[in-house]
Structure 1
């Protein structure tokens, strides 16, 4: 019997074990830099309801967790958050599912009901974030248009 070709899970497994050992602040700084870039480019303007709230985003297949907050319309990394500290809203999915959300090729409801997007914490805040992201127009280069 010939060996099976590796799938994406096999390829990401070594990265996931490394990702679990990276401090949340280090990982968070990179995501926040991307969010701040999108905000400066006017692609992603946080609504006032996000002010003072904290967020945790877990990229499950990479073993990464990003923790950040929104203060005065700006995204800020949570430098001292641990990998277990809870945030107001926690969102988790695989990297490919987050990419599909960002491109607009998949919606959060579909991923949630397929159990590919996990949400916990403040459900009202989760709905605000979902509606905000759904209403945000994506740049042409991101959506492939």
Structure 2
């Protein structure tokens, strides 16, 4: 069953913007580090090393700052201008993760915005396109469509 269209209510973004951003950033980098070398090729991400990245979840009020180092992804407490900002709604990030939408479709429909260094944006998009999501979901039964926990 496809993911329904939704946008989190505006009060969620107002509250989320005032909450500490470190806990969700730690969750993001933990997930990225779990994927590193398993589904995200470390060598392909080399150009991201030392770059300031910002992932915005617009309807949740989240602004997650992180970087990539030789040891993996790390949270970033650096308020300077990011080298690359990626913005979308929670629903669109979920659709990407579930492969219900591809990055090109979201990008060209202006639902996934990338601002900053163009080459970094292309690297992220191409890395997402290259992930073998079918192999991943085959190894993780909870991500298969139609499966429930219980």
Q: Same fold (TM over 0.5)?
A: yes
Residue of structure 2 equivalent to 1:4: none
CA displacement, residues 111-143 of structure 1 (integer Å, 9 cap, x when unaligned): 111111111000011101111111011211446
CA RMSD of aligned residues (A): 2.2
Residue of structure 2 equivalent to 1:61: 59
In the alignment, structure 1 segments of 5+ residues that lack a partner are 1-6
**Given the two structures, how large is their TM-score scaled by the length of structure 1?**
0.81
Structure 2 residue 118 is the aligned partner of structure 1 residue 123: yes
Q: 1:24, 1:39 → 2: CA distance? A: 22
Equivalent position to 1:51, from 29, 49, 52? 49
Q: 1:143, 1:87 → 2: CA distance? A: 34
Residue of structure 2 equivalent to 1:110: 105
In the alignment, structure 2 segments of 5+ residues that lack a partner are none
Q: How many residue pairs align between the two structures?
A: 134
Residue of structure 2 equivalent to 1:37: 34
**Given the two structures, how large is their TM-score scaled by the length of structure 2?**
0.78
Q: What are the within-5 Å matches in structure 2 for residues 1-145 of structure 1?
A: 8-9=6-7, 12-39=9-36, 42-46=38-42, 47=44, 48-78=46-76, 80-82=77-79, 85-138=80-133, 139-140=136-137, 141=140, 142=143, 144=145
Q: 1:143, 1:124 → 2: CA distance? A: 32
Structure 1 residue 73: deviation in Å? 4.9
Query: Structure 1 stretches (4+) deviating beyond 4 angstroms?
Result: none
Q: 1:22, 1:97 → 2: CA distance? A: 22
